[in-house]
Amino acid sequence: MPPDPSADDRPDRRKLTDLELKSARPSLDTVRDTPRRPIYAILENIRSAYNVGSMFRTADALHLSRLYICGYSAFPPHKMITKTALGAEHSVPWEKQADAPALARSLQDQGMQIAVLEQTTDAVDIWDADLRFPVCFVVGNEVQGVSDELVAAADLCLQVPMMGVKQSLNVATAFGVVGFELARRWGLGKDEG
C-alpha cells in the first residue's frame, strides 16, 4: 500500500508565483525558432470564437506546426479569440483557408495523414489508432461536427471514448485531448539518440 501523503513529507511544496512562471516563459522569438512537432490541425466551421481562441492556446502549449482555420471559423485579429488565446494567436503559425476538404486533399498529396475527430461507423479510439507523422487532425462545428465531405476524405476517423450520457465533449476540450495524445505519441516515437 502506498504511503499516505502528508504536508509533512513535502515541506517545500508550494505553488509557483506569477513572477516565477513569467520568468520561465520563453520569448516569442525563441518559440518561433524552436522546431515544431509534425502535428497540424484543421478547424472546420467552428462557430464560437472563444473555442478558436482556446484551441490557439492549446496549440501553443503543444507547439503544433500550424492551425488551418477553415470555413466560417473566426480568425485573428478577433477580440473573443484574444480573450481565450491570451496571446497564443501570435505564437502559433496559422492560415485561413476557405475549403477544408480541398486543403485536406492537398495535405494528403504532400504525405500528411488526415485524422478526423468524429463519431463514425469506423472510428477508432484515439488510444488505439494507427497514427503516422506528419499528421493533421480535424475538428468540426460544435453542433454539426466535421463535414461529410471531409469525413469521406480522411485517412482515418478518431474518437475519444465516452462513458457518460452526452457522448461528446466541447470541441476545444476534444482538441486538447487529441492534441496531447498525438504529442505523447510523437514523443514516444522520436529518436532519442
Angstrom distance (rounded) from CA 38 to CA 133: 6
pLDDT of residue 3: 63
Ramachandran class of 97: left when φ > 0, alpha when ψ lies in -120 to 50, beta otherwise: beta
List per-residue pLDDT tens for the chain, 193 residues long.
666 666 567 778 999 999 999 999 999 899 889 999 999 999 999 999 999 999 999 999 999 999 999 999 999 999 999 999 999 999 999 999 999 999 999 999 999 999 999 999 999 999 999 999 999 999 999 999 999 999 999 999 999 999 999 989 999 999 999 999 999 999 865 544 3
Domain ranges of the chain: 30-188
What does pTM read for this prediction? 0.89
Angstrom distance (rounded) from CA 47 to CA 141: 6
pLDDT of residue 97: 96
pLDDT of residue 11: 75
Closest CA to 114 of 138, 96, 93: 138
Q: Which fold has domain 30-188?
A: Alpha/beta knot (3.40.1280)
Q: What are phi and psi of 103, to 5 degrees?
A: -60, -45
